[in-house]
């Protein structure tokens, strides 16, 4: 049996270096002790309101590198 070429390609991608201050929904949910679903909804509202910003970075999750949304408060930008 041959490996699925798409899975092999995703497994070989190099993860991005995530800058300080950026966290995933899972990290924020764990820190705030709320569900990931609720954290995701709150973060999406905050992004719409302009109080948080969103960027996608590739991170290693298990055996694969996946594009994953990361969030940080707008006030976390340098110079503000």
Give 66's Cβ-side CA count (13 Å radius). 8
Q: For 33-70, how does the pLDDT look when each residue is reduced to its tens digit (9 = 90+)?
A: 999 999 999 999 999 999 999 999 999 988 889 999 99
pLDDT at 11 over 60: no
Residue 71, Cβ density class (10 Å: 0-12 exposed, 13-18 middle, ≥19 buried): buried
pLDDT band per the 50, 70, 90 thresholds, residue 80: very low
What are the sequence ranges of the domains in the chain?
Answer: 19-74
Strand 64-73 relative to strand 52-61: parallel, antiparallel, unpaired? antiparallel
Fold exhibited by the domain 19-74: Arc Repressor Mutant, subunit A (1.10.10)
Question: The pTM is what?
Answer: 0.77
């Amino acid at each position: 049996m041959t490996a699925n070429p798409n899975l092999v390609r995703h497994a070989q991608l190099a993860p991005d270096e995530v800058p300080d201050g950026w966290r995933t929904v899972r990290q924020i949910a764990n820190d705030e002790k709320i569900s990931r679903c609720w954290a995701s909804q709150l973060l999406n509202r905050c992004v719409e309101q302009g109080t948080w910003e969103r960027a996608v970075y590739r991170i290693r999750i298990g055996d694969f590198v996946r594009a994953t949304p990361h969030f940080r408060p707008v006030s976390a930008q340098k110079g503000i």
